[in-house]
């Protein structure tokens, strides 16, 4: 079947279905999405606080820490240094300014999250423009109507781009991750940039090749081979023989040179400066890969559907509806950017959200191309599903908050109290006002859908993105104090710092026993507690469990005396003990 046979296209819609989505609304969606939950909270374990700890160590630690990520004296030999560089620069530049309004620690926390605005802007811009370029091509254009009335090429491309942007915003799995000071927001952004770069090479191969090289090098400097390999595998298949990109394959040498140069500019001095660090970094990358395992595949089958909700069903539908057009760029390019991260995950020893996030962008783009193929009745059904789903979620958030504050309904209040033991509820009036405004915005959006009966094809994506954002906004306003209490180590870190002031002698060191990287990072961030590796240290911080203490399996030695014991108030398992060892 010829890819230029317009009669075979599954897209059916009129010009009214591609009416322009107000740019102000699109801007408001993006601003609320990224700002809600980004500031005015503690760093949470694990990736969030680990990323911040590497940034602070780069600024305040030894000179090598700027090139080789560390958590205090612990070599954090995994991922890459790029997010740390950008975050450390932001803290250095903006931290002193924020110190005029808050404490130095909170100023550093706020400054460390400013790069998330950059990553989000790069993500949304790349998704929008990449989808727009594909949507303007002749292959995905809708069927020409007998008496006219079909959308223009520009309007159709803009509608696809708007839908793709709203769908990436509506993707459930990346919502919290885009607000972390970790490598994940940067990794998603660079994968989106690589997608845009390949689509750009369809009409401007030189600028596209430069952007692709930057994306490839940046992905490597963000998450090593796990971040770069899916892009490295996807790109050659995008340039398959007889494809629209095949004549531009010669420009890929520019991408290779830029990507390799970026990697070597870091790797060569890093290897000279820290052979131990680079050796462990290489081992971490190599050991991250293995032959496919049943448990990994099972976890992917279990977790990926909710992580990529609601885009994955539409992405699969797009592949089915456009099955005669799989070789066309608007399907083939995002399909390759989805397939190869999936294949890479099958060969990883451990798979979770950082790896899943590489599928968010191509799933959203494919889902956008499914929309023009849907019948009006199906689209209306999906609209009502979004209305019911997110109306229920907002009501649930409110009901839980009321139970927390008033103790009614009794069973819900009891279940919440079990998870937040020791927490004293209070009302933050500014947060309550913002939550009320968000709820009213959702009601207005539902009312618009009921009374205006819009025919624009983006209406369902507006409801999905708006509903998810409102739910998120309510969580990070009404529930933020509770989330900080449950997930932050600020309190227990302050207790440990106070205990060390009493029990730690001058020039005495403290070493860690069984303390995880997230906990170690938290103690470093909140109270500058840096643990030593010296076996002669007579003070030991032990991380264990309440069960281990109760049954005696947490005992260190007969000569160890427990001088302090503490835990987070809501934690029912984890406990920390400060031990003093009497040396003979």
Q: What is the pLDDT of residues 69-126, one digit of tens each?
A: 999 999 999 999 999 999 999 999 999 999 999 999 999 999 999 999 999 999 999 9
Q: What is the pLDDT of residues 511-530, one digit of tens each?
A: 999 999 999 999 999 999 99
What mean pLDDT do residues 63-73 have? 93
Supply the Cα-derived Rg of the chain in whole angstroms: 26
pLDDT surpassing 90 at residue 455: no
> What pLDDT shows up at residue 578?
95
> What pLDDT shows up at residue 556?
73
Q: What is the pLDDT of residues 135-179, one digit of tens each?
A: 999 999 998 887 678 899 999 999 999 999 999 999 999 999 999
DSSP-derived 3-state class of residue 9 = coil
d(CA 91, CA 112): 6
> What pLDDT shows up at residue 541?
95
d(CA 454, CA 89): 46
Residue 268 binned pLDDT confidence (cut-offs 50, 70, 90): very high
> What pLDDT shows up at residue 579?
94
Please, what's the b/e burial string for 495-532 (b: 16 or more CB within 10 A of its CB; e: otherwise)? bbeebbeeebeeeeebbbeebebbbbbbbbbbbebbbe
What mean pLDDT do residues 369-396 have? 92
Maximum C-alpha span of the chain: 97
Q: With 0-12 CB in 10 A as exposed, 13-18 as middle and 19+ as buried, what is 483? A: middle
Residue 573 binned pLDDT confidence (cut-offs 50, 70, 90): confident
Q: Are 20 and 158 in contact (CB under 8 A)?
A: yes
Residue 413 binned pLDDT confidence (cut-offs 50, 70, 90): very high
pLDDT surpassing 50 at residue 1: no
Q: Looking at per-residue confidence, does 387 or 582 come out higher?
A: 387
d(CA 492, CA 526): 10
> What pLDDT shows up at residue 583?
66
Q: What is the pLDDT of residues 322-352, one digit of tens each?
A: 999 999 999 999 999 999 999 999 999 999 9
> What pLDDT shows up at residue 334?
98
- State pTM to two decimals: 0.95
Q: What percent of the chain has pLDDT over 90?
A: 85
Residue 5 binned pLDDT confidence (cut-offs 50, 70, 90): very low
Q: What is the pLDDT of residues 457-484, one digit of tens each?
A: 899 999 999 999 999 999 999 999 999 9
Residue 558 binned pLDDT confidence (cut-offs 50, 70, 90): low
> What pLDDT shows up at residue 584?
53
Q: Which of 255, 272, 163 lies closest to 215, judged by CA?
A: 255
Q: Which of 565, 559, 547 lies closest to 499, judged by CA?
A: 565
Q: Are 123 and 192 in contact (CB under 8 A)?
A: yes
Instruction: Return the domain boundaries, the chain.
Output: 46-113, 118-372, 376-487, 490-581
């Amino acid at each position: 079947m010829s890819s230029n046979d317009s009669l075979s296209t599954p897209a059916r819609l009129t010009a009214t279905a591609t009416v322009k989505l107000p740019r102000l609304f699109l801007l408001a969606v993006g601003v609320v999405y990224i700002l809600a939950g980004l500031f005015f909270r503690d760093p949470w374990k694990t990736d969030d606080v680990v990323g911040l700890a590497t940034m602070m160590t780069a600024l305040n630690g030894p000179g090598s820490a700027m090139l080789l990520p560390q958590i205090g004296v612990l070599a954090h030999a995994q991922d890459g240094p790029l997010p740390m560089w950008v975050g450390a620069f932001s803290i250095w530049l903006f931290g002193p300014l924020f110190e005029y309004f808050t404490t130095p620690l909170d100023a550093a926390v706020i400054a460390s999250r400013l790069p998330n605005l950059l990553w989000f802007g790069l993500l949304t811009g790349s998704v929008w423009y990449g989808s727009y370029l594909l949507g303007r091509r002749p292959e995905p254009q809708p069927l020409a109507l007998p008496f006219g009335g079909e959308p223009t090429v520009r309007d159709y491309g803009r509608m696809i781009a708007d839908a793709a942007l709203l769908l990436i915003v509506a993707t459930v799995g990346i919502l919290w991750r885009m607000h972390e000071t970790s490598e994940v927001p940067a990794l998603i952004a660079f994968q989106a940039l690589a997608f845009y770069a390949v689509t750009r090479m369809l009409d401007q191969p030189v600028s596209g090749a430069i952007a692709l090289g930057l994306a490839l090098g940046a992905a490597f400097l963000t998450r090593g081979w796990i971040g770069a390999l899916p892009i490295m595998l996807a790109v050659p298949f995008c340039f398959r023989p007889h494809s629209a990109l095949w004549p531009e394959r010669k420009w890929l040498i520019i991408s290779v040179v830029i990507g390799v140069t970026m990697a070597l500019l870091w790797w060569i001095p890093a290897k000279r400066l820290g052979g131990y660090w680079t050796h462990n970094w290489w081992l971490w990358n190599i050991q991250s890969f293995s032959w496919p395992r049943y448990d990994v595949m099972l976890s992917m089958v279990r977790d990926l559907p909710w992580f990529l909700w609601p885009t994955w069903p539409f992405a699969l539908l797009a592949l089915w509806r456009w099955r005669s057009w799989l070789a066309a760029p608007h399907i083939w390019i995002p399909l390759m950017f989805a397939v190869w991260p999936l294949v890479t995950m099958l060969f990883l020893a451990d798979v979770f959200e950082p790896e899943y996030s590489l599928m968010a962008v191509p799933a959203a783009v494919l889902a956008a191309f499914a929309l023009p193929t849907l019948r009006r009745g199906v689209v209306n059904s999906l609209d009502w599903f979004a209305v019911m789903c997110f109306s229920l979620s907002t009501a649930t958030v409110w009901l839980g908050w009321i139970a927390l504050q008033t103790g009614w309904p009794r069973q819900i209040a009891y279940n919440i109290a079990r998870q937040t033991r020791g927490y004293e509820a209070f009302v933050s009036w500014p947060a309550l006002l913002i939550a009320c405004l968000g709820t009213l915005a959702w009601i207005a959006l539902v009312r618009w859908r009921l009374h205006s009966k819009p025919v624009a094809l983006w209406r369902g994506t507006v409801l999905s993105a708006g509903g998810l954002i409102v739910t998120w906004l309510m969580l990070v306003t009404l529930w933020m104090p509770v989330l900080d209490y449950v997930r932050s180590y600020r309190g227990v870190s302050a207790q440990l710092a106070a205990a060390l002031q009493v029990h730690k002698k001058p020039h005495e060191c403290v070493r860690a026993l069984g303390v995880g990287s997230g906990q170690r990072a938290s103690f470093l961030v909140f109270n500058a507690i840096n643990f030593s590796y010296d076996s002669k240290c007579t003070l030991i911080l032990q991380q264990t469990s309440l069960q281990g203490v109760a049954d005696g399996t947490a005992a260190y030695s007969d000569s160890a005396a427990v001088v302090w014991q503490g835990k987070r108030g809501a934690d029912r398992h984890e406990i920390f003990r400060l031990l003093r060892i009497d040396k003979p």
